[in-house]
Structure 1
Amino acid sequence: MADRNSYVFVSQRYPPEKGGNASRIRDLAVNVADGARVTVLAPPTTYPPGNFERSWARSETEHVDGVEVRRLWSWQPQVENPGLARRLPYYLLFALHAALWLVWHHRSTDAVLTSTPPITTGLPGLVAAALGTPWVVDVRDLWIDNSVALGYVEADSPLVRASRRFQGLALRTADRITVTTESLGSAVADTYGQSLGDRVRHIPNGVDTDWFAPRADSGDAVRDGGERSVVVYTGNLGSAQPLEPCIRAMDELDHDAVLRFVGDGDERSRLEELTERLDLGDRVEFVGLVDREAVPTHINDAAVGLAPIKDTAELAYAMPTKAYEYLACGVPVVVTGRGEVRRFVDASGGGRHAEVDPDAIAEALDTMLAAPDHRRQLGAAGREHVVEQYDRAGIADRLDSLLSGLVGADGAETPPQRSAVQS
């Protein structure tokens, strides 16, 4: 159809890479592609490092679920938990390659969406803006603040100061800023200027509630046949998740259960060593990476899902995608952390909050594992809440309306006058 808008999404990660970042962009792109042409620019599959073969192709194109995916060459770290020296080429070379691609194709591009973190995706966005193309920055978290809070970089280092200036430039230049939670939108304005508030739009994370759905032979049904209870964690094994207390909680648990990690990440080796040191090999399993299509099965095999976030002010806006996925499958969730994730679990009625402490996590798990009927009630309430509020098809419709409005297709949005920016 010749009159369809053409959008370009720029993302550092895209399936078959795992994690909430990749799945968010994939689901948004696929649903928006129902009414528009969508091209995703991403580097070769890389994350977690070492799980994918190195690619030397300048550009590779594939068409998946109605979306054109352009893999633009970038350096691929091959070691677990790569340091800054290995990460920077991965981020910067992809950003430069994507910027050049947009220069070459800007006449056929109606709007650009860049996903951050990393903040380097702002470079192709700035190029798009300079060429007059409407630009949306999709902010998933405040990467710089998180890096400082997690001890990756010093708060007053030249790198942090330069990163903040660049991020501020990108946000003040963009036509719209989409955020995954309302509290993240407030944090963006507090950090980079209250004037940005008029540009912020709430496009939450969500879940495909048709694919992530309860299964007849779910974890509760299986356990009626005598199997061990399963507590599942899906996704990134990273520094923002307090996974060590979750492992230690299994040593305090009264019920016969196993904690199953489905995913990979920078912390996996350390967590495996901890499990061995605590002699918990019979209570903690590391499944590793699985195909996206297999994730609902692993969730449905479980009695309870874990969605832990570190209890810090910097992560108070964080909302893990896995929590939506657990509840969509009718599996109740135990969360840790403050702010958004705690408000979500209270509003959904689909689980409970625990402090970041092995005893508290174990107590929350034991309470759920001891009451199958109550557990099913929590799962049903959570499923209903997610279907009503967080189905990704509806969320994508909101993004599609925002983008089409920016390019003048329906008048719903009009690009604001870009502010003069001082670097």
Structure 2
Amino acid sequence: MPPVERPAVRVLLVSRIFAPEPAAASFRLRALTDALDDAGARVTVLTTTTSRAMAGTPDGTRDGVRVRRWPVLRDSAGYVRGYVQYMSFDVPVFFRVLFARGVDVVVNEPPPTTGFMVRLACALRRTPYVYYVCDILGDAVGATSAPGLVVRAVRAIEGWAWRGARALLSVSGGVTRRLAELGVRGSVHEVGNGIDTEAFSASGDAVVLPSGDGAGADDGAGAPFFVYAGTASEVHGAGIFARAMLLVHAQDPRARLVFIGQGAEKAAIADECTSLPPGTVTFLPQAPPHEVARWLRGAVASLASVRPGGGYDFSFPTKVYASVACGTPAVYAGIGPARTLVSDEHLGWAVDYEDGAVADAMLAALEAHDRGPDGAAGPDGAVADGEPRERRQERLASWAAQNASLAGVARAAALVVIEAADR
């Protein structure tokens, strides 16, 4: 008797953010669709129409992955961020999930309001779902000035969404431990996190920043610059790099600072830079991964931070992975697992969240860059004494390929999703 052919698992992925939006969630979820496609699953993505900045940019998904977009409200920075914006996605997505045809399992991303709607819809249609836990929003809201009633409501909605899931995908040990502290244990699968090491790599051209005013590329030697690429929100506290730049510029007027992306603190950061000469700090809009990689390859170092006490002490900013994959060391300010990793693996300079400490690290990165083939010294430096710059780039990129590739993370997550459907 011939074997019975097993039907393909039908997966519905629900997220307010997806490729080509340049964000960690977009990279992570697109990698998951690739892994599910490799496993023979049929994948449909329910997401939003792209932001104005990304309009017309290909999402990079495979031909077998269907992406269905829905209009949504965005804030002034172009993000689906805030209760009204969330609801503009979550209310329609309840009906989109409820009436979707041919679904074996649903996968959803935060915010918790999306998880709430997914649980309701899946309960009515008796379909299991998997919750991708990339952060703990209840902790983040609890660290703000939000009223206690709002904090309790967010925690309750988030917990309810977690408890209804057949499985939870955790992006880090910190998230897994926090879930355990909140009473969530048995269904948690720690799959890790990473970056698209094809989009972010050490091979390719690099931006050269002219030593005069403005930001752009040319063929000559240019000014040394730092790059902060990604969201600059309250939990990141990226304003510390603008304040540190005041100290750095006083000692090395050549240095430049480039912010790429958006965020709630962008206007405040710009205010911090008003006393610096024009062209010292440049703000660029969101950009696709290949363009961000060009900036990272040309930078002295990238910048990343997590503000202590902001509710995200356990988080790991994936911009560190992107930088290292491009062969560029990182200057990390704050606490959390990224600080330990950057220091232990010699991926850059990991310091306290303090203006002077950050400025010292940036100056050390400039010194390391200037010494070039001769190597560099300094506390917690990314470059060992005598390590040539090219060797450093190769070492960092090799480390990222072995330890921070999203492909392996996505394969582990896909197995959990398929198992959830099978059960």
1:317 CA drift (Å): 1.1
**Which residue of structure 1 aligns with residue 46 of structure 2?**
41
Comparing 168-177 and 384-393, the one that deviates more: 384-393
**1:80-99 superposed matches below 5 A:** 80=77, 87-99=82-94
The alignment status of 1:109 with 2:103, answered yes or no, reads yes
AA matched with 2:42: R
Measured in 2, the distance between the counterparts of 1:383 and 1:221 equals 22
TM superposition shift of 1:227: 1.6
**1:164–1:114 distance in 2 versus 1, CA, 3 Å:** same
Partner of 1:180: 171
CA offsets 1:97-147 (integer angstroms, 9 cap, x no match): 2221222125x1111111013543331234214422221111111112212
- Unmatched 5+ stretches in structure 1: 54-61, 409-414, 416-423
Structure 2: how far apart are the matches of 1:208 and 1:63?
12
Q: Which residue of 1 aligns with 2:186?
A: 198
Matches within 5 A, 1:247-286: 247-253=242-248, 254-255=251-252, 256-276=254-274, 278-286=275-283
Deviates more, 1:229-238 or 1:161-170: 161-170
Q: Which residue of 2 aligns with 1:401?
A: 415
1:386 alignment partner, one of 387, 391, 400: 400
SS of alignment partner, residue 12 of structure 1: coil
2:216 matched residue in structure 1:
none
- Structure 1 pair 220/271, CA: closer, same or farther in 2 (3 Å)? closer
1:384 partner amino acid:
S
Once the two structures are superposed, the pairs formed by residues 19-418 of structure 1 within 5 Å of their partners are 19-35=23-39, 36-46=41-51, 64-66=61-63, 67-74=65-72, 76-80=73-77, 87-106=82-101, 108-151=102-145, 153-154=146-147, 156-157=148-149, 159-191=150-182, 193=183, 196-215=184-203, 218=206, 226-253=221-248, 254-255=251-252, 256-276=254-274, 278-312=275-309, 314-371=311-368, 372=372, 373-374=375-376, 375=383, 376=389, 378-408=392-422, 415=423
For residue 292 of structure 1, report the CA deviation from its aligned partner.
Answer: 2.9
Aligned twin of 1:59: none
Q: CA RMSD in A?
A: 2.9
- SS of the aligned residue for 1:198 comes to coil
Secondary structure, in 3 states, of the residue corresponding to 1:42? strand
Equivalent AA in structure 2 for residue 65 of structure 1? R
Alpha-carbon contact 2:21-2:288 (below 8 Å) kept? no
8 Å CA contact retained: 2:12, 2:46:
yes
Q: Report the CA distance shift for 1:126/1:343 in structure 2 as closer, same or farther (over 3 A).
A: farther
Query: What percentage of residue pairs aligned between the two structures are identical?
Result: 25
User: What is the DSSP-based 3-state SS (H/G/I as helix, E as strand, rest coil) of the residue aligned with 1:166?
Assistant: helix
How far is 1:80 from its partner?
Answer: 4.1
Query: Does the CA-based 8 Å contact 1:342-1:353 persist in structure 2?
Result: yes
The 2-side partners of 1:260 and 1:119 are apart by 34
- SS of residue paired to 2:46: strand
Q: Distance in 1 between matches of 2:84 and 2:413?
A: 31
Letter in 2 for 1:229: P
Which region of structure 1 is more displaced relative to structure 2, 321-330 or 278-287?
278-287
Shift of 1:379: 4.1
Paired residue secondary structure (1:307):
strand
Distance in structure 1 (CA, Å) of the matches to 2:79 and 2:18: 19
Go from structure 1 to structure 2 and tell me whether the alpha carbon gap of 1:313 and 1:343 turns closer, same or farther (over 3 Å shift): farther
User: Helix, strand or coil for the counterpart of 1:209?
Assistant: coil
Contact 2:308 2:353 in 1 (8 A): yes
- Judged with a 3 Å threshold, the aligned counterparts in structure 2 of structure 1 residues 354 and 70 are, in CA distance, closer, same or farther, namely same
SS at 2:327's partner residue? coil
Which amino acid is the alignment partner of residue 169 of structure 2? Answer: T
- 1:359 is paired with a residue whose SS is helix
Q: CA deviation at 1:393?
A: 1.1
Shift of the 118–258 alpha-carbon distance from structure 1 to 2, 3 Å rule, reads: farther
Equivalent position amino acid for 1:73 in 2: P
Cα distance change, pair 219–149 in 1 and its aligned pair in 2 (3 A)? same
The TM-score normalised by the length of structure 2 is: 0.83
Measure, in 2, the Cα distance between the counterparts of 1:87 and 1:338. 26
**Contact kept in structure 2, 1:206 and 1:321, CA below 8 Å:** yes
What CA distance in whole angstroms lies between the structure 2 residues aligned with 1:396 and 1:222? 39
Show the counterpart of 2:380: none
SS in 2 for 1:8: strand
Deviation at 1:279, TM superposition (A): 2.6
How far did residue 287 of structure 1 move? 1.5
Instruction: Mark the runs of 5 or more structure 2 residues left unpaired by the alignment.
Output: 212-218, 377-382, 384-388
Report the alpha carbon displacement of residue 218 of structure 1 after superposing the two structures with TM. 4.9
After superposition, the Cα gap between the structure-2 partners of 1:403 and 1:78, relative to the gap in structure 1 and judged at 3 Å, is closer
Distance in 1, matches of 2:96 and 2:204, equals 47
CA distance in 1, matches of 2:238, 2:223: 21
- Asked if 1 retains the 8 angstrom alpha-carbon contact of 2:115 and 2:158, the reply is no
